[in-house]
Structures are given as structure tokens and as C-alpha cells.
Amino acid sequence: EPEVTQTPSHQVTQMGQEVILRCVPISNHLYFYWYRQILGQKVEFLVSFYNNEISEKSEIFDDQFSVERPDGSNFTLKIRSTKLEDSAMYFCASTDSSYNEQFFGPGTRLTVL
């Protein structure tokens, strides 16, 4: 069964460093998303991406964040200068239709020291 994959599973970084989180969505999916979940809190929407551009972004997704689909398979989230409060689980999701269920990857746990 096709699945969304994410790398790395755990990333530790120093405050102020740049990180890139990588995702490979399901191959025939067209809509891509990033969500995050701070430990013990709810899953929060960050950004949606369709047709090679951002469709919507949340207030969390400020100028420190960017997304890219550099080739036909990868979807990346870059955090330019990490802060302590960026420590969270980051989930990539994809779907083949804007009103169908989204399939989530296993997540990348980001720890900012």
C-alpha cells in the first residue's frame, strides 16, 4: 500500500540553525501539506501546496518557513533560523483530491537546543 514517507525521523539542531525536513508524498497525489504537533498539544496546520505554489498558510508559517517541491517526488519544509519553540513533531500529508482524506507520514521529531 502506498504511503507518505518522511526523513529524518528525528532531527536535533542548535537554535538559529537552518533545518530541512523532507517528505515523499504518495505518487499520484496532487495536494501536499505540512502540520506540526507540539508535545501534548493538538495537530496544527502550517501550509498547503498545490500546482507548485502555496495555497494557504497559517499564522505559524512566517518568513522563517518555506516549502518547496524541488522535483517530481520530494516536498520539503525549511526552517531558516530555528527557535526553541519550533521543537515539535512535523507531519507531511498528501491527498489526491482537495476534499478527500489526507494521508499522513510518520513525522519528523525536531528538537531545537
Partner 1 sequence: QKEVEQNSGPLSVPEGAIASLNCTYSDRGSQSFFWYRQYSGKSPELIMFIYSNGDKEDGRFTAQLNKASQYVSLLIRDSQPSDSATYLCAVSWYSSASKIIFGSGTRLSIRP
For partner 1, the binding residues (CB under 8 A) are: 31, 33, 35, 41-45, 48-50, 55-56, 58, 91, 93, 98-99, 101-107
Residue type at position 103: F
Choice between 91 and 112, CB closer to partner 1:
91
**What is the smallest separation between the CB atom of 79 and partner 1, expressed in angstroms?**
19
At its nearest, how many Å lie between partner 1 and the CB of residue 17?
24
Give the pairing type, strands 88-95 and 75-79.
Answer: unpaired
Q: How far is the CB of 104 from partner 1 (least distance, A)?
A: 4
- Pick between residue 9 and residue 14 the one whose CB is nearest to partner 1: 9
Minimum separation from the CB atom of position 15 to partner 1 (A): 24
